[in-house]
């Protein structure tokens, strides 16, 4: 494991375990199954994260994990990367080079753009507004890679939530 995953664990200690629910590690077999089912390779950073935490939730952000075939207690359906993507890949309007990797608590999506793979094998992460699905989909670059995505998500959750997982009150005269 890289130092990033260790740093991630330390940063998540801010929440004192409240509002953070990360799954048990994904097996190599499960990673291969997911890549086959999704018809793509997961990025090295994404795979590394899944080997440590197979998806889960950080306050209001759901991080998709890989299904664990043959495991009685697999990952919850709402964070199953295969199920979440198969549903959209069958839609005519969904870009076939996008793979959903998470969502926020408001129905918006985070996707990896497979058409923009870096030399290191990383995909940029886009934010997709759910209200534009089926039409001219509104998306913008959110982070350059998976670790950047996690870092930004954690920073935003720390800005918005207290260590016990409650929404911070708005500061006087300024909205968050």
CATH number of the domain residue 77 falls in: 3.40.1580.10
In-domain check, residue 173: no
- Check whether 172 has a pLDDT greater than 50: no
Residue with tokens 């209200």: 131
Tell which phi-psi region holds residue 84, choosing left (phi > 0), alpha (psi between -120 and 50) or beta: alpha
CA-closest candidate to residue 45, choices 115, 101, 98, 97: 101
Number of structural domains (the chain) is 1
| Amino acid 111: pLDDT | 97
Average pLDDT for residues 156-175, to the nearest whole number? Answer: 77
Task: Say which residues have a Cβ less than 8 Å from residue 95's Cβ, sequence separation at least 6.
Answer: 137
Task: Give the structural domain span for 139.
Answer: 3-160
Query: Does an H or E element contain 111, and which?
Result: strand 109-113
In-domain check, residue 171: no
In-domain check, residue 168: no
Average pLDDT for residues 144-148, to the nearest whole number? Answer: 97
- Check whether 86 has a pLDDT greater than 60: yes
In-domain check, residue 13: yes
In terms of pLDDT, which residue wins out, 119 or 73? 119
In-domain check, residue 107: yes
């Amino acid at each position: 494991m890289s130092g990033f995953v260790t740093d991630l664990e330390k940063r998540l200690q801010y929440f004192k375990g409240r509002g953070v629910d990360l799954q048990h590690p994904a097996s190599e077999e499960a990673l291969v199954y997911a890549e086959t089912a999704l018809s793509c390779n997961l990025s090295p950073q994404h795979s590394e994260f899944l080997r440590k935490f197979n998806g889960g939730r950080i306050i209001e952000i759901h991080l998709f994990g890989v299904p664990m075939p043959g495991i009685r207690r697999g990952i919850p359906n709402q964070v199953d990367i295969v199920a979440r993507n198969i549903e959209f890949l069958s839609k005519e309007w969904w870009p076939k080079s996008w793979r959903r990797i998470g969502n926020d608590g408001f129905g918006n999506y985070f996707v990896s753009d497979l058409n923009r793979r870096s030399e290191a094998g990383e995909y940029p992460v886009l934010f997709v507004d759910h209200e534009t699905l089926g039409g001219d989909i509104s998306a913008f670059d959110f982070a350059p890679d998976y670790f950047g995505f996690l870092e930004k998500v954690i920073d935003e959750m720390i800005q918005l939530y207290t260590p016990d997982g409650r929404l911070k009150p708005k500061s006087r005269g300024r909205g968050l």
